[in-house]
Amino acid sequence: MYAAPGRGLAAPQVGVPIRLFVMDPTWRDGVAAPLALADPRLLWASEETATLEEGCLSIPGRTFAVTRPARVRLAWRDLDGRGREGAFEGVAAAAVQHELDHLDGVLVTDRTA
């Protein structure tokens, strides 16, 4: 993910058919802090939206303007199997939604007009 250089990577992108992704939306701005989310579920999404340019490691060298909810709340299991919940906004919100899409078989190109 870092070498690509990306902000997230879903297991299905590397041929592993499980509901797991890793992400680190701010590593380019500071210290790497990867987060692994197993069996993530979207609990809530804001009505407010934001449009950001998204890249995708499955489609190198291109970006796409994608409009998504500006804030989301997710539940997931960490790598030790413990239940977690968290709220995400900005680039992090876009990243978790982008990776959730991969788990559901949706590509960024399916989200563009």
- Residues assigned a catalytic role: 99
Q: Kindly list the distances between the CA atom of residue 35 and the CA atoms of 61, 63, 112, in Å, as whole numbers in the listed order.
A: 24, 23, 26
Q: Is-cis flag, bond preceding 34, omega within 30? A: no
Query: Which region holds residue 15: left if phi is over 0, alpha if psi is between -120 and 50, else beta?
Result: left
Question: CA-CA distance, 53 to 43, in Å (whole number)?
Answer: 24
CA gap 67, 48 in Å, rounded: 10
Give the DSSP letter of residue 96. H
